[in-house]
């Protein structure tokens, strides 16, 4: 069985399978240069005794990034300190996991594993707001990794990315075209990702979904994934 609530392991997998363009230490902080790839690759994390906020913020500003911090379970003091500095809480996110072999489905003609982000996948992602900066994040991830394609009839209607780190696979950027939703394609894609993960040495399958996305969380829970924990971000107030 998977050890429930091992958030340190899962956040390590999150950062390894969706990696920043650059890492840099600033006192107790690990800074991430995201190059427009979103909060997951841009947020600083606390790796030692709290403090030195100014150095962390200066480092992110030097990269042209608005300062963003990830707040993980057990970091209530950090959360309070950031709130006192006026940093705004946003995007509470649930990490979910299950055993890869329990989730994996049989091969299905509606899904296909690709070894590169095909143009048809990029089109699906672009329509859902996943642009070139996030495709670059996928390109930076170390192997084993794969891009998944899903079809509704004879048209490409879904895209996803999955990678493995230290025995755990994490799926990112699952996007289903609006006209193909609520027809089971998201579940097929998730099971296809778990099947690929199992075949590439992963025992555990995980993903991150925003707390506000109730429909996705319900789908994943119905497939047997369980909540492992919750993290959120805080961003610096604007100076405008």
Taking residues 200-205, report their average pLDDT: 97
pLDDT in tens, 81-113: 999 999 999 999 999 999 999 999 899 999 999
Rounded CA gap, 194 and 237, in Å?
39
206 and 147 together in one domain: yes
- pLDDT (0 to 100) of residue 240: 46
Residue 1 lies in a domain: no
Rounded CA gap, 56 and 22, in Å?
14
Q: Residue 2 — very low, low, confident or very high, per pLDDT cuts 50/70/90?
A: very low
Burial class (CB in 10 A: 0-12, 13-18, 19+), 210: middle
Residue 119 lies in a domain: yes
Rounded CA gap, 142 and 163, in Å?
8
200 and 136 together in one domain: yes
Question: What's the first-to-final CA gap in the chain, in angstroms?
Answer: 50
Taking residues 132-145, report their average pLDDT: 97
Determine if residue 208 is left, alpha or beta; phi over 0 gives left, psi from -120 to 50 gives alpha, anything else beta. Answer: beta
Model confidence at 13: pLDDT above 90: yes
161 and 201 together in one domain: yes
Residue 240 lies in a domain: no
- Domain residues for the domain of 137 are 97-229
Is the distance from CB of 147 to CB of 117 less than 8 angstroms? Answer: yes
CATH classification at residue 159: 3.40.630.30
Report the number of distinct structural domains present in the chain: 2
170 and 200 together in one domain: yes
84 and 160 together in one domain: no
Q: Residue 239 — very low, low, confident or very high, per pLDDT cuts 50/70/90?
A: low
């Amino acid at each position: 069985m998977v050890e429930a609530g091992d958030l340190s392991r899962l956040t390590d997998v999150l950062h390894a399978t969706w990696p920043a363009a650059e890492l840099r230490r600033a006192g107790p902080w690990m800074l991430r240069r995201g190059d427009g790839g979103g909060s997951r690759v841009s947020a600083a994390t606390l790796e030692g005794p709290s403090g030195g906020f100014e150095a962390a913020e200066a480092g992110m500003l030097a990269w042209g990034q608005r300062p963003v911090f990830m707040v993980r379970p057990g970091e209530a003091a950090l959360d309070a300190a950031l709130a006192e500095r006026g940093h705004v809480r946003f995007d509470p996110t649930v990490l979910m996991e299950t055993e890869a072999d329990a989730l994996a489905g049989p091969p299905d003609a509606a899904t296909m594993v690709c070894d590169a982000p095909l143009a048809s996948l990029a089109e699906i992602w672009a329509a859902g707001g996943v642009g070139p900066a996030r495709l670059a994040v996928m390109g930076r991830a170390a192997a084993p990794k794969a891009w998944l394609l899903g079809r509704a009839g004879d048209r490409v209607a879904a895209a996803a990315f999955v990678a493995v780190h230290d025995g755990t696979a994490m799926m990112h950027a699952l996007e289903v075209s609006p006209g193909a939703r609520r027809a089971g394609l998201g579940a097929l894609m998730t099971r296809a990702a778990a099947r690929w993960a199992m075949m590439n040495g992963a025992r555990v399958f995980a993903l991150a979904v925003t707390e506000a996305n109730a429909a996705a969380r319900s789908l994943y829970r119905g497939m047997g994934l369980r909540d492992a924990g919750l993290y959120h971000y805080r961003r610096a107030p604007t100076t405008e």
